[in-house]
Structure 1
Amino acid sequence: MTDTVKMTLDEVRALARSVLAAQGLAPAHVEAVAETMVAGERDGCTSHGLYRLLVCAHTIRAGKVALDAEPEIVESAPGLVRVDARGGYAQLAFALGRGPLAAIAKANGIAALAINNCVHFAALWPEVEALAEEGLVALAFTPSHAWVAPAGGTAPIFGTNPIAFGWPRPGRHPYVFDFATSAVARGEIELHRRAGKPIPLGWGIDAAGRPTTDATAALGGAMLTFGGHKGSALATMVELIAGPLIGDLTSRASIEHDGGANASPLGGELVIAIDPAGFLGGAVARQLDAAEMLFDGIQAQGARLPSERRYAARARSEADGVEVSAKLLADIQALLD
């Protein structure tokens, strides 16, 4: 048996949909959640691709997500769209709030989307990329479970607490970055554990607070922030603006709610959309050109822009399909047996 299996993106989509439906997820959620997994596989982000079917199945079986939740836009301030996800996955709530968010941003120059009471397991770049494709500058933030120790500490208090940013580039893919404020996404450590591979030093510590290269020990201890105190400060910011600011859970409250189920986090997400034309008026084209000069200057030095590898992987995947771990597919198939 080979280590990998070649799949088309349509086959990836069909597999994701069939597994999610078999787990009892409502059709609207099946479609929205599956697309994020397809995007992960398509763009070479395998830790956010089909592997997340195992994560979703576990969360569903633990009873930690509402299978048929119908997100609702609730009354809020004029420049704010607030969506109550009602305990469902974040994808459908974002889909509901995306249109009003973009419309308010284009009318007023800036707007925010607060998603409350959602279960989150995915990356944030699909959301900021979608808004940037509409010509908007976008930022997104979400806490998670308390898995990450603060700089100088030894006990988890932060989530992986990602930050994502999107910048529109007319005629090109948007400039997008999305990174955890932890040294690495938790899914990367889990993939190392599954493969029996050591993790690099600096990713995590064991339960006694000692540096470790053992993925299992790091998962049972604490992850670390990137950049020491700088990553720790950014993680704190995410906790505040996507937790208390929007009336939702911190990462510590989320893991307490989890009660040892090891399911996906419950909490909130904050998305900010900015319309360049609202700030610049008729000067918008000139300033977007200035941004392109910045990007050109970066690349002229041989440096890579964030997401370049993702976009290159996307082109390959759309043309040739993707290689998926045979062991992972066997584990996923077991969910259907």
Structure 2
Amino acid sequence: MARLALTEVKALAEQVLEKYGFTKEQAVAVARTMVCGERDECTSHGVYRLLVCVSTLKAGKVNPAAVPVVHDHAPGIVRVDAKGGFSQLAFEKGLVALKQKACTNGLAAMVVNHCVHFSALWVEIEAITEMGLVALACNPSHAWVAPAGGKGPVFGTNPIAFGWPRTGQDPFVFDMATSAIARGDIELHRRAGNPVPLGWGVSPSGKPTTSAQEILDGAMLTFGGHKGSALAAMIELLAGPLIGDLTSAESLEHDAGSQSSPYHGELILAFDPRRFLGEHYEHYMKSAENLFDNIEGQGARLPSARRYEARKRSLQHGVEINDVLLDELRAL
């Protein structure tokens, strides 16, 4: 393992992206997300994704010079056309309008269309909670996941993320795939030649397996059986047909076997608790803190607590990156 400062990780990511033709603005936005992944020890969404970005570019499945266009779609909706670029810059471009609409109406939606997507949603959720807003986001991906009771891919990993702002403390955030595990984690196991736990997926014949490669060739599974399957279907609808974009199956069809990052849309909701609560804001925000105290008071941890602990370590000591991966990235 090699140890790098976060500034070095940022520089490496930006250099690779710009080397392959991404504009400075695109490279900075995409690299920022990867640095967050490494910083919080979520390595499946860290600089390993540079390999995927370059592969997606070579396959002609992402626009490296995309300039997102922001549309004031409705009083409570901002729509951002990513123009075939990665999702990060499109999200950043629509963020100011999302905040303005949420503060005016109490609730607002950002719709991101025509984006290529690989990133964790908690990065975006935290950007919204920093504004004092409550946030919810979801998106489809490629059809990699079988529905409960089935064995063929229908859903994507279909993550859903939520954030609640807290004064003087890290926000309450969860970001979870509706699949049993993120696809990137299975890929990292495959690269390392390690088996995966039963329940992550099935082989092409539909049989349970601990082989990462067999799952990648077969189908992943949802978490919680029919419960995760129902949530995955909901996300397909909310962040697919409802916003005028592709389902996971349609994204995979668009991929045409290139094994590139998914191409679809994303739905982000922002709620302004001050607008909802008015003069009762302080009372009910304290009520939320009582809830968190009751959770932690039993020795349980809040979601993202491990990420926040990792963040403190990384900011002080840097991060460790596998030598083999680092050599691959430096070769790029």
Common fold by TM > 0.5: yes
TM-score scaled by structure 1?
0.98
Instruction: State how far apart, in whole Å, the 2-side matches of 1:118 and 1:61 are.
Output: 17
Name which of 200, 203, 211 aligns with 1:203: 200
Q: Aligned AA for 1:326?
A: D
Q: Aligned AA for 1:20?
A: L
Give secondary structure in 1 for the equivalent of 2:156. coil
TM-score scaled by structure 2?
0.99
Q: Does residue 40 in structure 1 map to residue 40 in structure 2?
A: no
Alignment of 1:155-194 (within 5 A): 155-194=152-191
User: Which runs of 5 or more residues in structure 1 are unaligned?
Assistant: none
Instruction: State how far apart, in whole Å, the 1-side matches of 2:204 and 2:328 are.
Output: 29
Q: Does residue 310 in structure 1 map to residue 307 in structure 2?
A: yes
Instruction: State how far apart, in whole Å, the 1-side matches of 2:145 and 2:202 are.
Output: 10
| Residue-by-residue CA offset, 1:117-154 (whole Å, 9 max, x unaligned) | 00001100011111011100000000000000000000
Instruction: State how far apart, in whole Å, the 1-side matches of 2:290 and 2:102 are.
Output: 26
Instruction: Give the equivalent residue in structure 2 for 1:112.
Output: 109
Q: Aligned AA for 1:90?
A: S
Deviating more after overlay: 69-78 vs 191-200: 69-78
Count of residue correspondences: 332
Q: Aligned AA for 1:92?
A: L
Q: Aligned AA for 1:101?
A: L
Give secondary structure in 2 for the equivalent of 1:254. helix
Per-residue deviation, 1:82: 0.3
Q: Does residue 14 in structure 1 map to residue 34 in structure 2?
A: no
Alignment of 1:219-230 (within 5 A): 219-230=216-227
Identity value in percent: 61
Instruction: State how far apart, in whole Å, the 1-side matches of 2:45 and 2:76 are.
Output: 32
| Residue-by-residue CA offset, 1:67-88 (whole Å, 9 max, x unaligned) | 1011001241211000000100
Per-residue deviation, 1:334: 2.0
Alignment of 1:272-283 (within 5 A): 272-283=269-280
Name which of 238, 242, 260 aligns with 1:245: 242
Instruction: Give the equivalent residue in structure 1 for 2:70.
Output: 73
Name which of 277, 284, 287 aligns with 1:287: 284
Instruction: State how far apart, in whole Å, the 2-side matches of 1:314 and 1:201 are.
Output: 30
Per-residue deviation, 1:286: 1.1
What do you get for the CA RMSD once the two structures are aligned? 0.6
| Residue-by-residue CA offset, 1:30-63 (whole Å, 9 max, x unaligned) | 0000000000000010000011111111101111
Give secondary structure in 2 for the equivalent of 1:329. helix
Instruction: Give the equivalent residue in structure 1 for 2:87.
Output: 90
Instruction: Give the equivalent residue in structure 2 for 1:332.
Output: 329
Per-residue deviation, 1:270: 0.1
Name which of 248, 256, 259 aligns with 1:259: 256
Instruction: Give the equivalent residue in structure 2 for 1:102.
Output: 99
Per-residue deviation, 1:23: 1.2
Instruction: State how far apart, in whole Å, the 1-side matches of 2:14 and 2:93 are.
Output: 20
Name which of 320, 324, 328 aligns with 1:323: 320
Give secondary structure in 2 for the equivalent of 1:76. strand
Instruction: State how far apart, in whole Å, the 2-side matches of 1:67 and 1:327 are.
Output: 26
Report runs of 4+ in structure 1 exceeding 4 Å deviation: none
User: Which runs of 5 or more residues in structure 2 are unaligned?
Assistant: none
Instruction: State how far apart, in whole Å, the 2-side matches of 1:333 and 1:168 are.
Output: 38
Q: Aligned AA for 2:28?
A: E
Instruction: State how far apart, in whole Å, the 2-side matches of 1:91 and 1:75 are.
Output: 19
Give secondary structure in 2 for the equivalent of 1:273. strand
Per-residue deviation, 1:333: 1.6
